[in-house]
Amino acid sequence: MSILVVGSVALDTLETPFGRADDALGGSATFISAAASFFASDIRLVGVVGEDFPQDGIDFLRSRGVDLAGLEVVPGGKTFRWSGRYHDDMNGRDTLDTQLNVFADFNPQIPADWRSPDFLALGNIHPALQQQVLGQMAKRPKLVVLDTMNLWIDLTPDELKATMARVDVVIVNDTEARQLTGESNLIRAAKAIRALGPSIVIVKKGEHGALLFTPTAFFSAPAYPLEDLFDPTGAGDTFLGGFIGYLARTGDLSDDNLKRAVVHGSVLASFCVEAFSVERLKTLTEAQVSERVNAFRDLSAFALETLDQAADEA
């Protein structure tokens, strides 16, 4: 099944306690597409870059089977650049610089034959642009998934809420969920987001996992415990890509399958953070993904027995 991905394609300069990377491949659409490609095969990216965008970025996305017919290259333009520095605990980060460049005039044009995707991933961009993409759909996709960031909650909360009302799944992190709703409790915050319109809400909690809320299920997935966390950039987008890629591959939107999709998204995100940028995704194999999915299941599975049974065995 096809997935249309719209979002940023960027060059990131990153500083972590472990080192620095300059002009590394980044952007929401990049991470979403690359992650989705581990499960789904028909992925179409719409975004914009400048003439300075490196060929190895194009080569990487093509090597993952991502169709780049919707990636506009602006002649003489400069690619969107974002720069961030992570705190010592790797949880917090500060944005040091954002240069919109060609992204400032981004006006997503979905190619005519891409307007009926099965799945639509609205990566983090201005909510007005996300709505513009929705307006270009010839028919409603089976599932529309939206991601956002604190910037839009601060600057355009009403536009963002109006956009959320038009999608099926909203993915936010814990801070964003609280900021958007004014609810400090995450269960209440998720309820408040669902009341805006999306039937499914996922709240990511970084190293503490993710919560899934559907009309009929509540699921809490742990995060895969990692000893070496190198660069968290793109973990959220990678989660989204793994989630939507798994759903597109299986075509099943039942609660049980949504839970599996959350786990597959979490597993891909756990690989993403092991190296700078998309480096770990370059070497990742399907076998490594399945192995970690199994390890993930074992992480919180336990055999249930009654107190009497336990006493009998003692």
Residues of this chain that bind ligand AMP (CB under 6 A):
8, 10, 12, 26-28, 82, 98, 124-125, 151, 233-237
Q: In the block, which residue shows the tokens 């009926």? A: 116
Q: Whats the size of the chain, residue-wise?
A: 314
Query: What's the angle, vertex CA 264, arms to CA 236 and CA 196, rounded to 5?
Result: 55
Q: Minimum distance between the CB of residue 124 and ligand AMP, rounded to whole angstroms?
A: 5
* CA gap 181, 164 in Å, rounded: 13
Residue 182 backbone class (left: φ over 0; alpha: ψ -120 to 50; beta: rest): left
Q: Minimum distance between the CB of residue 56 and ligand AMP, rounded to whole angstroms?
A: 16
Q: Which amino acid is at 155?
A: L
Choose between 56 and 291: whose C-beta lies nearer to ligand AMP: 56
Choose between 130 and 214: whose C-beta lies nearer to ligand AMP: 130
Report residue 84 as tokens.
Answer: 């961030």
Q: Minimum distance between the CB of residue 95 and ligand AMP, rounded to whole angstroms?
A: 7
Q: CB nearest ligand AMP: which residue?
A: 26
Q: Minimum distance between the CB of residue 252 and ligand AMP, rounded to whole angstroms?
A: 26
Strands (E), 38-77: 42-50, 66-74
Choose between 96 and 217: whose C-beta lies nearer to ligand AMP: 96
Choose between 39 and 106: whose C-beta lies nearer to ligand AMP: 106
Choose between 95 and 290: whose C-beta lies nearer to ligand AMP: 95
Q: Minimum distance between the CB of residue 228 and ligand AMP, rounded to whole angstroms?
A: 18
Question: DSSP class of residue 251?
Answer: -
Choose between 57 and 117: whose C-beta lies nearer to ligand AMP: 57
Residue 46: phi and psi, rounded to 5, are -115, 125
Q: Minimum distance between the CB of residue 194 and ligand AMP, rounded to whole angstroms?
A: 22
Report residue 124 as tokens.
Answer: 């983090």
In contact, 220 and 211? CB cutoff 8 Å: yes
Q: Minimum distance between the CB of residue 238 and ligand AMP, rounded to whole angstroms?
A: 7
In contact, 190 and 219? CB cutoff 8 Å: no
Choose between 93 and 191: whose C-beta lies nearer to ligand AMP: 93
Choose between 54 and 251: whose C-beta lies nearer to ligand AMP: 54
Q: Minimum distance between the CB of residue 36 and ligand AMP, rounded to whole angstroms?
A: 14
Residue 171: which of 84, 266, 295, 91 has the closest Cα? 266
* CA gap 28, 174 in Å, rounded: 18
* CA gap 199, 26 in Å, rounded: 29
Report residue 11 as tokens.
Answer: 């060059």
